[in-house]
Amino acid sequence: MQFDNVVIIEDNHRNYYPLSISTPLSDLIIGGLRYYEHVALWLMNLGYDVNIYVVTRDYLARYWQGIADSILSKLNLKYSVRYIHNIEDISGTTLWIYTSLIPQIDVLNKLIVNTRTEAEIKCNDKVLLSITNGRETGAKDVINNCDLPVANGIWSIIKWNTELLRSNSKYLVKIIGDKTVDSDVSSNAIIDERAGNVIAINTIIEPLTYIKGPSLLGPGSRVLPHAYIREGTVLYMNNAVGGEVKNSIVDMHSLKEHFSYLGDSYVGRWVNIGAGSVTSNLKNTIGIIRYMGIDTGMIKLGSIIGDWVKVGINTSIMSGKYIGQGSSVIGLIRKDVPPFSMCVNNDCERFRIEKVVEVYRRFVELRRVHANENEEALIKAVYEASLHEPPP
């Protein structure tokens, strides 16, 4: 089936708090790539050249395009994505994909073969995908299918990350031609691909590291000596990592250089994790972990760490807790930390926006890159949003 547009629609963004107030759901990373990149990769493998639109909140639509790079663009792969606040300019046959649908390419291939125009696929009351001839998202033929991989919140990204990385990596390798691209891999590094591909793109892997697949090590990243990189690890771009990492996603320009443990966690952009800091991903009771009071059904869930966060040395973050954007924390973190907080243990006070921007500029200088005006504007917009959008 051919279509003119693909539109990705954010679904239930409140369950992705706090990451969702600074990142469109389409740009959260799962399985090694941003959500929309999986869709673009799928279209490339089909040989389709269509417009991809992302419908998101107004302030994110304004600032995001000038901030976040992508692995596919670094590989010089051609695709088009636009961030919009409404769908008035969209016409023609359109495939609507809701972010509650995990973008597993094998699943998308089956759905597109078996779905007619003017059809809508749902799981109970949750719309997952539809095909229409106009800008209206509704369709006449409704199909209920709850056997599809579905995301219910940020915890689902952690739940599905390793499996999606394993299943979709073969499509990425097919497009780029190799698992190792422009990378410097030490002969003393151990690469274990018995459980999945280890993809390295313009990455430095230093001596005496152990890397298990599936994992993806993105452009400008470094794996430091003696690091233990376990299955499901994603270093998206310009990261440096040491110690132990397992089933965790690290977004652009973030560092975890020292010996510590990061497990079943999500780390946003421009984050620094100090030496000896640990994310707990398992309760002593081996019980189900709740996130923002919601039963995740998971016994392993680490930390959700927002953009621009700084984690001090020897900090311990308890299972299923989040650190909101722009916060600075140290000590034992037993409760969720609101965005833009300064915390010693869980004794917190509000971080002034001027100081947050100043810390961002210092970190940019430390990383030897240039500050981004859109990034600074986004920090201020997210600060305002955090005042008016409390946790669910």
Cα–Cα distance for residue pair 137/129, rounded to 1 Å = 9
Type of residue numbered 212: K
**Sign of the four-CA dihedral 30, 33, 37, 40:** negative
Query: In the 8-state DSSP scheme, what is residue 71?
Result: H
Q: Where are the alpha helices (DSSP H) in 65-104?
A: 71-74
Vertex 80, ends 139 and 102: CA angle to 5°? 50
Q: Count Cα atoms within 13 angstroms, Cβ side, for 143.
A: 16
Type of residue numbered 307: D
Cα–Cα distance for residue pair 285/5, rounded to 1 Å = 48
Query: Which one of 38, 258, 370, 388 is the catalytic residue?
Result: 258
Number of other CB atoms surrounding residue 148 within 10 Å: 17
Question: What's the token pair of residue 320?
Answer: 């299923």
Cα–Cα distance for residue pair 45/68, rounded to 1 Å = 24
What pairs with residue 323 in β-bridges? 305, 337
Q: Is 370 a catalytic residue?
A: no
Number of other CB atoms surrounding residue 358 within 10 Å: 11
Cis amide bond preceding 18, omega within 30: yes
Any idea which residues carry the catalytic annotation?
258
